[in-house]
Structure formats: C-alpha cells, structure tokens
Amino acid sequence: MSNEIAVYPVQALNEALTDTLTRLLIDVVADGASIGFLPPLTYQEAAAYWNSVLQDGVVLWIAEKDGVPVGTVQLHLATKANAAHRAEIAKLMVHPSGRRLGIARQLMQAAEEEALRQSRTLLVLDTRVGDPSNKLYESIGFVEAGVIPGYAQSADGHLHATRFYYKPLNPYLSRC
C-alpha cells in the first residue's frame, strides 16, 4: 500500500458509500471518538445519521487512503442573517488505521478552503478536552474560546468538558 491520500467533496451518497461511512462511524465511536454518539453504535443508527447529513448548507468531504474512505469532515454554513459570515466544522473523524498520516489536517484544509469560497470568514468548532484533536486544531490556527464543564457524556456515564475554538479567516477579525 502506498498510503496515497485523496480528499474530495461529496454531493450525494450511494448505497456503497453510505455502507462504508456507516462502518467508519461505528469504528471511530467504538474507538472512543466524542462526535455525538455513544458505543455501541448500531449499524441502523449510523446509517440513519449518514442518510440525514447532506442537506442545504452542509458540505461533506471524504478522505480516501489507497481508494478506501478513512475520514470525513463537514462544513455547516450558518444560515441566519446575522451569521452569514461563519461556518462550523463538524464530525471530523479518521479511522484508527488512518491516524497520524496527516488525513485530519488535509480534511481541515479542504473545509477551510471551502469556507473561504463561500465567503465565510470565521470558523467555529468544539471538541472534548484532552482529545488529540485539541493539538491539531491549535496547530492549524484555531484559538480557544472557552471550556464548558460536563458538556459531553461518555459511554460509562462520565461527563467531560468540551473546548470551543474559533479561527478567523479574515485578518480584520483577529483584531475585533
């Protein structure tokens, strides 16, 4: 295997891609990812999620390693009149077998480039405190906005703090 990575946007999900993404979601949740689901995540729950993702204002990217989808990220374009300048990064996930290969960084770059194409000048996201993603987000220019204790629950019932980040894509916003 060459570890060749390809990142591309997806406009529609067919049955085969939905199946692959469903299995990806189940695997990353089972591995402990804090992305809104708790293990054990059933195939039906995961498939239902993917069948609901693509809607107006959501852009989905997939990362493939050697032709196999191993990661995704979503850009949710804010739709309120006073928020048309911002977007939220959601559901960044990389299969455990594809980690430490720069896949998450490539997915984030694609989302950021799309945000700029869509005239979005501010990105926001949240992640569980202590997850490896904290270091990734900080390394690519996201700034911590704050932490909310007890925001997300894990499968064992423990509550975990969540860190909120933002990234200005317009130099003017850095000075506001």
Interval 31-54 mean pLDDT: 98
pLDDT above 90 as % of the chain: 94
Per-residue pLDDT of 47-69, as tens digits, reads 999 999 999 999 999 999 999 99
Average pLDDT, the chain: 96
How many C-beta neighbours within 10 Å does residue 12 have?
A: 7
Per-residue pLDDT of 135-175, as tens digits, reads 999 999 999 999 999 999 999 999 999 999 999 998 766 66
Domain assignments of the chain as residue spans, ordered by start: 5-175
SS (H, E, C) the chain: CCCCEEEEEECCCCHHHHHHHHHHHHHHHHCCCCCCCCCCCCHHHHHHHHHHHCCCCEEEEEEEECCEEEEEEEEEECCCHHHCCEEEEEEEEECHHHCCCCHHHHHHHHHHHHHHHCCCCEEEEEEECCCCHHHHHHHCCCEEEEEEEEEEECCCCCEEEEEEEEEECCHHHHHC
Please list, in sequence order, all residues whose beta carbon lies within 8 angstroms of the beta carbon of residue 73, skipping any fewer than 6 positions away: 60, 61, 89, 90, 91, 92, 93, 104, 107, 108, 110, 111
- Residue the block writes with tokens 């928020």: 83
- Residue 109 phi, psi dihedral angles, 5° rounding: -65, -40
Alpha-carbon distances, residue 4 vs 65, 67, 104 (angstroms): 6, 8, 14
pLDDT at 18 over 90: yes
Q: What fold is seen in the domain 5-175?
A: Aminopeptidase (3.40.630)
pLDDT above 70 as % of the chain: 96
pLDDT number for residue 170: 84
Instruction: Using pLDDT thresholds of 50, 70 and 90, give the confidence band for residue 1.
Output: low
Interval 68-73 mean pLDDT: 98
Per-residue pLDDT of 82-139, as tens digits, reads 999 999 999 999 999 999 999 999 999 999 999 999 999 999 999 999 999 999 999 9
Q: Is the peptide bond before 69 cis (omega within 30 degrees of 0)?
A: no
pLDDT number for residue 68: 95
